[in-house]
Structure 1
Amino acid sequence: MGLFRKRQEPGGGGLAVQIREGGRHPFGVLDGYVPLRQGEIPLYRAIREAVPIVDAAIWKIIRLAGGVGVRCGDSRAQRELDWFLQHVDTGRGQRGLQSFLDCYLDSMLTCGRAVGEIVPNRRRTDIAALLCGNVTDIEIKEGDNPMDFAIWGRDSGGQMRELPRQELLLFTPFQPETDSPYGVSLLRSMPFLTEILLKIYQATGMNWERMGNVRFAVVYKPGDTPLDQSLVQERSRQIAREWSAAMQAGKNGSVRDFVAVGDVDIKVIGADNQVLDSEVPVRQILEQLVARTGIPPFLLGLSWSSTERMSTQQADMMTSEITAIRRALEPVVERICELWLRLHGYGDQVTVEWEDINLQDIVEEARAELYRQQARAVELENQSTEKGASV
């Protein structure tokens, strides 16, 4: 008599239990979001990576804000300054002040602040390069009054210390609040809605995977005879083996019939379920995200309205948004150009001039200009007529 008896397996029941993952979108940082003062920058960058329309909106803002020029009183200094602004080294194989401002503004919109550095040459007679820094590597230490602050960074030992040559460092917060010098990211109000949007996209992808690549439920119902009851597990294994072989043959491009003995029922899993309509909730979320950027929807490829042309009100609002962003960049441009002029012995009085923001149709602008000139001609004709009558 054995100490351990062999356990008798039940004759009925399923052959195997399949366990699947619930499925999550790859941007897990959005699931556990908690608003913080620091450390939220990876979250904002994950939003740009996860939602292409947000990334496209930020790049359109950067492109629309471009086109800077600087004017000074000396004609010779003007020529040399223009050459400097077009050819100054900005790192990573790029040149020109505009490439520096693009990177600087990208950090300012995404992280809520931007930091840069003016790199002089070894003899301290010229500016050798303009470089953007990583905002996660610096801290702002405020002094005794609101006008006094210093930029701190890590030394070779990993300790935070005040960086030398503060006059060569550039720092710009984006829409700073009264209780923090770091500024506010353009994406600050997006994590909650972005998480919902990614859940919808992830569920939609999983539903299409299940319904596009269908799953089958094969149910074998044994008869009431003792022979059928005793062969339940053997027949289940045989049916599972033959069904798997038939499915594998279908993947290889061949057709294989499936033959089973007994009462076998085959159904498609999920065929009777209705896929939720995601158009309305996705549009509502995208409307909120796009509204935060200030970009008109059709500039991002969204045809939400019946008209495809930008209205005058939208153009004015977009122009005011870009103008406000340009005002935040002007002190950086002025500091760079003033330092360059002083290093070369010129007066440091400069004026920053931006290119016009062209959001209207060129044909409509030409027609409007024609109407203005015609009105001006009629006005001059009326004035000459009135003078002739008075004489």
Structure 2
Amino acid sequence: MILFFFGIANLTARQIEVTPGSERPELYLDMLKGKAVGIVANQTSILTHSQNKHVVDFLLEQGINLKKVFVPEHGFRGDVDAGKKVDSSIDSKTGLPIVSLYGNNKKPSAAQIADLDIIIFDLQDVGVRFYTYISTMHYVMEAAAENNKKVIIFDRPNPNGDYIDGPVLKRGFESFVGMHPIPVVHGLTVGELAKMINGEKWLKGGLTCSLEVIPIANWTHKTTYNLPVKPSPNLPNDIAIRLYPSTCFFEGSIISLGRGTLFPFQVYGYPDKNFGEFTFTPVSIPGMSTNPPLKGQLCYGVDLRNEPLTHRFTLSYVIDALKKSGKGEAFFKGYFNTLAGTDELKKQLLEGKSEAEIKRSWSADLEAYKKKRTKYLIYED
């Protein structure tokens, strides 16, 4: 049996009512019987209503012909640092081949899926454009479309699914941390986004894949959902996930967002007392961050851990740090525009525009996106 427990949270009575797609076998087992199946899975692919059983174990117990497991960034067990190589291997518990979809092999090759009829996608996303699990989903859908395979999405709640905000990605800024013309906080589950990818013909050549979404039961976009397992090494808790859309922009700057601490994405700072009274020193933490920015340097800054779980996307942290740094253009790294999905945001920040002014500049794009989004919703807003 495959076990990957990262401090499973106590589920509230309200949350126990929420049932992800993987926990609704009555909707998908008949489709899988007699088929050769592959699955995209990691440590988040668990059935919380079944003693936190991993979906791979469950499918094997049901006699499903599961032939291989594909894994995204951070690996099968979710302990590989961001951007680090994820190796293909053999799972010691089940003997199943583990095929990495990160690094040089982001898209399954025709040979890797030739022996499959169906590919299941069951990853816990966080609802933010630059979180790479949705890029992996895109490539899986594309490979399936090119090779006449079916994709089944086991849908899961979006913990940032209650609102939409941020700049919409502009053409020419596509990357693995932003493949679609959607805002930073896109307000879709992976199932809804998969429908949008198909419907808007965003796969290469305008292809569409054979797609089935196994929906979540008892969830709406307003439902609070606390993730039972951390989705990646540096999103350890609910507040980190809510802050992530805002603080991730520091990845494209000289500022530390707390990698190399036990509270990444929940603080920001720099080795300069002008940044604030709160202090932290990034260090190497195996399984989280082995070589964090500003490693070994005492950083002064701001502690955001007491922000409420109702927190929404803001530019105020970046504006604050840019002003305190006094460095202008040197504050930014090239990756900032990649994360933003546009070069306009950096220009606006350097011009000293307020958050309100900047947000007004993308309001028309957001309204157009929201109108498009309604066609693909599975769950009530």
TM-score (norm 1): 0.22
Select the structure of larger CA radius of gyration: 1
TM-score (norm 2): 0.23
